[in-house]
């Protein structure tokens, strides 16, 4: 096997430090406006892949764990190291934990499927292909699958002040070299227009998405309600 790739016998399981909750769902714009109230929010893609938790220690990628059932996930660090766009080194020297979505673009999905001669063996959608790619025991296979990671949430970052703003967290993650999920800053007056714009963009974008996520920008306010996303 080429130098740099690793073959594992199994994927270890590990409990998350904080449970990963499901989102409240709605298709009602008025419900989103009422939920926002007088707060600003961040409206972003709900990407259709596998949620991954990354941990960095002293500027280096130390661990990657899948969402699993929200309580316990699988350790896939070797695979994450060969994702197309995950930085292996970052400037932040403290402990950093973040969450994001691993996805395979439609264009790569079509290319990989075309390389499979047996039509019955082809993958049904990019999410299925991504799930199998992220959870490979041989990361040489993962490296060929063009898996991308888009950060959507910062869990902990030592010695960093985000002035109580989720948008500042995302901008900081970008400064560290992460690609973040595309978002729009909204309020109750602009959220309907933003939803409409996303609805047009989803028709042509290369990254699989199965909805939108709305977060409060004010971190403390969101945490005071117990849930921060809809």
Read off the pLDDT of residues 38-94 as tens digits, 9 standing for 90 and up.
999 999 999 999 999 999 999 999 999 998 887 888 999 999 999 999 999 999 999
Percentage with pLDDT > 90 across the chain:
76
Q: Would you please indicate which residues are annotated as catalytic (active-site) residues? A: 46
Given a contact cutoff of 8 angstroms between Cβ atoms, the answer to whether 50 and 101 are in contact is: yes
Extended strands (E) in the chain: 13-15, 41-47, 50-57, 60-66, 72-74, 96-103, 148-157, 183-186, 209-216
- pLDDT band for 124, please (50, 70, 90 cuts): very high
What pLDDT, on a 0 to 100 scale, did the predictor assign at position 203? 93
Give the integer Cα–Cα distance in Å for 48 and 77.
Answer: 21
- Do 230 and 130 contact (CB within 8 A), yes or no? no
Average pLDDT over residues 91-104: 96
The encoded tokens of residue 58 equal 């002293």
pLDDT, tens only, 156-196: 998 788 999 999 999 999 999 999 999 999 999 999 999 99
């Amino acid at each position: 096997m080429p130098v740099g790739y690793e073959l594992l016998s199994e994927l270890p399981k590990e409990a998350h430090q904080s449970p990963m909750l499901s989102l409240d769902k709605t298709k009602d714009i008025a419900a989103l406006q009422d939920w926002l109230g007088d707060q600003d929010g961040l409206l972003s893609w709900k990407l259709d892949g596998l949620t991954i938790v990354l941990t960095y220690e002293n500027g280096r990628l130390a661990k990657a764990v899948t969402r699993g059932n929200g309580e316990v996930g699988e350790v896939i660090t070797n695979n994450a190291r060969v994702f197309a766009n995950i930085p292996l080194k970052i400037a932040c020297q403290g402990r950093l934990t973040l969450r994001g979505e691993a996805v395979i673009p439609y264009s790569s999905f079509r290319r990989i499927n075309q390389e499979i001669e047996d039509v019955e063996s082809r993958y049904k959608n990019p999410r299925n292909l991504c799930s199998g790619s992220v959870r490979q025991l041989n990361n040489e296979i993962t490296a060929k699958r063009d898996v991308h990671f888009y950060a959507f949430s910062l869990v902990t970052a030592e010695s960093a002040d985000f002035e109580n703003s989720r948008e500042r967290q995302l901008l900081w993650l970008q400064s560290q070299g992460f690609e973040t999920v595309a978002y729009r800053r909204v309020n109750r007056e602009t959220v309907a227009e933003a939803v409409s714009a996303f609805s047009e963009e989803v028709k042509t974008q290369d990254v699989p998405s199965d909805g939108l996520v709305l977060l409060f920008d004010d971190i403390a306010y969101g945490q005071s309600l117990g849930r921060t996303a809809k």
